[in-house]
Structure 1
Amino acid sequence: MEFMRANPGGIVAPEDVIGRDKLIDHLWRVLETQSVVLTSERRVGKTSVIRKMFDSAGPVKACFFRDVEGFRSPREFIDGIYADVQSILSKKDKARLAMWKLLEKLDGAEIGNVKLPQVKQHWKDLFSALFQDIFTDETRPVFFFWDELPLFLYNVKENSGEQDAMEVLDALRALRQKYAKLRMVFTGSVGMHQVIGSLREHGYANDPTNDMLTIEVPPLHPDDGSHLASLLLEGESITVLGDAAEVSRKVSNAAGHIPYYVHCLVSRIRNAGGRVDAHRVTSCLDDLISDPNDPAHFQYYQSRLTTYYGSVEARLALHALDALASLGRPAKFPELLNLVRHKSVDAEEEPFREVLLVLLKDHYLFRSSDGTYSFRYSIVQNWWKYTRA
């Protein structure tokens, strides 16, 4: 850890995950009784948290981690789970396994190395049989950490249809209800509420995660963010001019105490000559925000709206964020609606309230106790103001 290097966007080693021990302890306590939906804005550190949990779980827990973003169908999801749990299944008598008995009925089927041409109509049976096998003679609690599960569900909806996505959600909930020692952790930069909301437009009436606790991964505590910045500045052999503690605090504050942006800023400072003082931190932030190559991937905040929101909702969301960025201060609902109506004269009150609620859930906005809305993260507000306002 003493030689930690800036690694924006890369996999962070568990020992280099700073300031998350209390959160991880809390998550393990919650997981004693129920499964978890882990939420936050992208790059805040959800994946690093669950990787560290997976790495430190120990032999008393059966833990499995997988990024499921690339899966496009229930069959691929089952295939991935099957590969992950081989450490459990390989120790069991194959003749006793429900999945193998089912495969014998599906002549020529394949999972892993076994062919499954009929999986489209039988995937739910295979899914059920697989988990039956996992829990056969298994005394330990079993934890599945599935990163980007909402994106997997979105992919299923787009490639296999809404019905399959609904049935995956229902199947996962049924498994949690059936097996008392089964826990699931879902994470994703796209919220579960977006996926479920889009399915409701096609008649989905279930609440498939109402047995799970939603927990937000916040930015780092300022002290932890400053500590991370200090370690990265030292690890990159950057010459700090002036008070080193003040410069570290300035880096963390400029990054909104979000680990990814701390890494981005230190990388920028290193590449800009490797010397920094408090003033240079500000100029490096400005350079990062204004860089047309967008190395920090800020453009995602805009493109996500047009990808995952409906056309009307995306238009209202863009106008609301533009208005707040231009205004430069928090605004209450009537003022914000009035500003949006300068762009969309037909904006109606209730649909706009619903859009603001989604922006709150998606961590674009924060609503204070006095009812005013503002950007959740200052670094996103700065980029939005530079780019669009």
Structure 2
Amino acid sequence: METAVNTITDFVKSLDAELRVFDMGRRLYRLSNGQFQKFENLEIPYPTPLQRHAWLGFLIWWNETKEEPLIWFLKLPLDEQGKIIPATRDDFIQRLMKAIQNRVNNPGSKEQSILNESELAFTPNQERMASFHAKSSRFIGKHASSYYEPAISYLKGEQTPEQWEALGLQGLADVCARLEDLNHAEIIKKALEWLPEAPKYQVLALLENEEIPTELALYILNLLENSLDSQAPNQALIASGLRALSGSKTIQPRQALILKILSTPSIQDDLEILSTIVSRCWMDLENPEICHQLFERVAKQEAGEQIFVQFFIDLVAIPGVRTWLMEMVRRTERSEELSRCIGQLFGAIQKH
């Protein structure tokens, strides 16, 4: 008797295949199979929704064969509680079954085109795609890409700084995904001392997908502190540096840095930096002062009311963050601009 296939997890098991699931939204990180299965079974909401979707990367492979793994990118819509919508998932399973059957029965078929017909399919940007390939290669024991050796050679200072334009983004992603290998974290730390601006910002942005070691995190924190203390803080460095620090365990130093950013006049209203805090450092909103100061700065934007509503609705869908946002909304000590934004928010909610 065949086992019923009700979920993506069930389907992959029916193929005797291995599964890895990655969040592709706010940051790229691996979801445990148990966590993903609970999400599929409607036991828990999605942990890190973005724009009311779960942005997922699936890696499916067979240990017993040399066949290339299957890679799918899907954005699954979520209900108001942040849980999976079963009907949408069921439709996806049917499409995936057809795609896999095409591959098994006709190895020359282009099953990717079947999924691309689905409105759920999406293509990650180049940066996120490079990180995904770097991480997935490590998980299944494959070698890094051919771009890895030139990238590590460059970061070791074996080439001139100007030669960065010849580097492949995939090579830098491979290095960042292997921080624990061959002292890569130390290599990156030393490279940040002399890297030209463009590759420096790229490396920092790629590090957002890693849990960087404390020593490297503290070095990056120091870089940002020095920039903030200068007469002209570097907006691009601070935004990319925050991305690098967002997944680190240096919580208190990072939060102190964010508060300093939000109180530095020349940069506190920079929309890119505010957006970076919202999209990457959402866990730091547990600090009530950060949450309050962030939205005070948002409220003072030229289109503050619209941006406030957009940020609030996006963040409130993340489990746990709602409590912190409601504390911010109830705070009586606030500017007139923030009060207007909160009023706009409640008006938007009542319309829906």
What TM bracket, shorter-length normalisation? Answer: under 0.3
Which structure is larger by alpha-carbon Rg, 1 or 2? 1
TM-score, L = length of structure 1: 0.24
| Higher relative contact order, structure no. (Cα contacts within 8 Å, ≥ 6 residues apart) | 1
